[in-house]
Structure 1
Amino acid sequence: MLHEVALPLIPGIGGGNARLLVSYCGSAKDVFSFPKDRLKKIPGVGEILASRIASYQKEVLRQAEVILERAAREEVKLLFYTSPEYPSRLRNLPDSPLLLYYKGTADLNASKVISVVGTRKSTEYGRVVTEQLVQGLVKHQALVVSGLAYGIDILAHRAALKAGLPTVGVMATGIEAVYPAVHKPYAEKMLLQGGLLTEFPFETKPDAPRFPARNRIIAGLADCTIVIESTQKGGSLISADIAHSYDREVMAVPGPITSETSQGCNHLIKSLKAVPFTQLKDLEELLNWDKALASSSISAAQEEFDVTQFTEEERRVLRALKEAGPTHIDVLSRYTQLSMNQLSTVLLTLEFTGKVKSLPGKQFALL
């Protein structure tokens, strides 16, 4: 784990070029032992980055040793992107973190995950809607994700704690530095009923540019990002835009046109970047939660698709669609255990052969 922790500490190394390096070299450890003249020939690396890897090697390995010791002492999990515990919804995104620091009890790969975001200047309307939304999620046992900030974020965390739902706070600091500090009591409760997650090493302090970076994790972790209240230039709009760019579902709560804290939500709906959220049924229908999805592991005795006609991946998709009916692509990916790239290829093949059809809202069904 030493080299996996050290790699993102090298200046200029991010999720994209780090994955490229690991792919070409074979592992994070091999990146550090790869000859410089071969490193610089890797597409997208070049002379400057190859030199940094060589010159910073000893320094970042020492830092990584300190991080590993502290993580073990404070029971913080270090999740490299190849780890089975790394959030699968994040793994294939182009700008996903290479390494995550996580402490808590929640399953980051829960079958249903909803991100709830909104303005720091929330109103009574926002509080009521947030609590009603979270209470509605209880029957689905969904994981609630937000950013521990003032306003809608902390209202969502508090509502989840009260309702007995797991809730994860995504931080723009080191995992030991809860920001704002006044929310530390809630963060401590979340460690027992959810968790705290960050991509930043220990002792990283709050800094404005880190908050938009944090928002991409909030958006990427979830099946749907719901904006409860937002001003015209609210930071939660960044999360909504990122979720939209990831081709994830976005919902927004409409509000009075005279309300400053509803301007951002109304704009998202007007610009077709978000579906209106007015009741839990809206979310259930959007994500196909209103139809129970049977387990994808069906015994051979129940097999109804010709093994000579379809590949194993195609049979998995066909079985899931047969049992569930029209299904959202994200839900289908999790239940078939296929990556989005694999699933997209299989669905395209099945569409060409006339077995599957695509529906609005990124859903698919058997013909």
Structure 2
Amino acid sequence: MKESDLQYVLALQHVPNLGDASAKKLIRFAGSAEAVFKEKKSALLKIDGIGTTKLNDLFSSENLKAAEKELEFIKTNSIQAFYFLDTDYPERLKHCPDGPILLFQRGNIELTNKKILSIVGTRKATTHGVSFCEKFIEDLALLDVVIVSGFAYGIDITAQRAAIKNGLQTIGCLAHGHNQIYPGVHQKYVKDVEANGGFLTDFWSTDVFDRNNFLKRNRIIAGLSEATVVIESADKGGSLVTADIANSYNREVFAVPGRPSDLQSRGCNMLIKSQQAQVLSSAADLIYMLNWQPENRTQAVQKQLFVELEEEEELLYDYLKEKGKEQLDLIALNCSIPTFKAATLLLNMELKGVVRPLPGKLFEAV
């Protein structure tokens, strides 16, 4: 968008007590951000949900002055700004009523026609949680999934490093402007993230660093993706907030279960028990529930050309050769293999080029 248009959107974003949902109402009513500032206050007050408090500071000259300064920061630091009505604004985030009217990006993010998954969890990750996260992302590698997280300690940074290791795009959603990195110790990962994705935030360079920013940031993590996965969480924390937001957006939520005595599993167990999340024990569970398939099956098969079938894979293959097309649940039942394991085996076999997935959770031998 033009600089003059961007400055007015920035000015609207700067208005205290307004919020993104209300700002969108004003823009849709007036036709543009610039038109909002030229509209009569009495007319704006007729909009449902827009009261005097939200408009108190709308016409202050400070909004445009602050916007001019932030616009200069954006230009100087090669930051991309995405407006919620533009075609290049993240598609899934468009459908979130409180999604930011402006989103600021650094890096090389490409989300068009991508499978996008948010992974969150405790900052005090256990060795089991870290191991599960790394293996989980490794098993998703051939599906070309974009991994979204919060660039924080623990599960967040584990997920983003694992994504880079496996050649996947990753996005760090920041709770501050692009003028800093928190935690500072993660500065060493910034170049790798920007080379394999990038960072998104709706905060300005002038925003004060505050704990509540992290909770606000979580709506972007949840809103960008098709599903959110919680890997370890205590009975309170930001991960549970993200899961709650994802549910409010009608997105899929998965949680990795743990022993009742494990402190860092209590949040996940609670999500599952209260039916706010589905059980996740492997990448195959997610692939099955979301009906995801590899983007480039030819490439996947080429990687596996000379790999022989394992004993259980041979059992499934022989069954499909004899039976023909069959549903996953029946394959698992008749071969006496748990469904989650059969799903993993069939995915591996598909990548080896010996089975083919069909609509309706059907599979057939090639």
- TM-score bracket, normalised by the shorter chain, equals 0.7 to 0.9
Q: 1:24-56, CA deviations, whole angstroms, 9 ceiling, x for partnerless residues?
A: 1111110011122322233322334344222x2
Q: 1:110·1:143 contact (CA, 8 Å) conserved in 2?
A: no
Q: Given the alignment of the two structures, is residue 289 of structure 1 paired with residue 292 of structure 2, yes or no?
A: yes
The residue aligned with 1:354 is none
Identity level (%): 41
Residues paired across the two proteins, number: 295
For residues 97 and 296 of structure 2, the distance between their equivalents in structure 1, rounded to whole angstroms, comes to: 29
For residues 135 and 99 of structure 1, the distance between their equivalents in structure 2, rounded to whole angstroms, comes to: 33
- 1:6-155 pair list within 5 angstroms: 6-54=11-59, 56=60, 58-155=61-158
**Structure 1: segments with no counterpart, 5+ residues:** 295-325, 327-358, 360-367
One-letter amino acid of the counterpart of residue 109, structure 2: A
Q: Which of 154, 164, 171 is the matching residue for 2:174?
A: 171
Q: 1:227·1:240 contact (CA, 8 Å) conserved in 2?
A: yes
Q: Which has the larger radius of gyration?
A: 2
Q: TM-score, normalised by structure 2?
A: 0.76
Q: 1:40·1:49 contact (CA, 8 Å) conserved in 2?
A: no
For residues 52 and 40 of structure 1, the distance between their equivalents in structure 2, rounded to whole angstroms, comes to: 14
Q: Secondary structure at the match of 1:283?
A: helix
**Structure 2: segments with no counterpart, 5+ residues:** 1-5, 298-326, 328-359, 361-366
Q: 1:36·1:51 contact (CA, 8 Å) conserved in 2?
A: no
For residues 119 and 238 of structure 1, the distance between their equivalents in structure 2, rounded to whole angstroms, comes to: 12
- 1:187-266 pair list within 5 angstroms: 187-266=190-269
- 1:292-311 pair list within 5 angstroms: none
User: What CA RMSD, in Å, does the superposition of the two structures yield over aligned residues?
Assistant: 2.1
Q: Secondary structure at the match of 1:176?
A: coil
Q: Secondary structure at the match of 1:41?
A: coil
The residue aligned with 1:310 is none
Shift of 1:5: 1.5
One-letter amino acid of the counterpart of residue 111, structure 1: K
Q: Which of 170, 174, 184 is the matching residue for 1:181?
A: 184
For residues 237 and 85 of structure 2, the distance between their equivalents in structure 1, rounded to whole angstroms, comes to: 34
Shift of 1:187: 2.1
Q: 1:86·1:108 contact (CA, 8 Å) conserved in 2?
A: no
Shift of 1:91: 1.0
The residue aligned with 1:4 is 9
Q: 2:143·2:293 contact (CA, 8 Å) conserved in 1?
A: no
The residue aligned with 2:363 is none
Q: 1:229·1:261 contact (CA, 8 Å) conserved in 2?
A: yes
One-letter amino acid of the counterpart of residue 288, structure 2: E
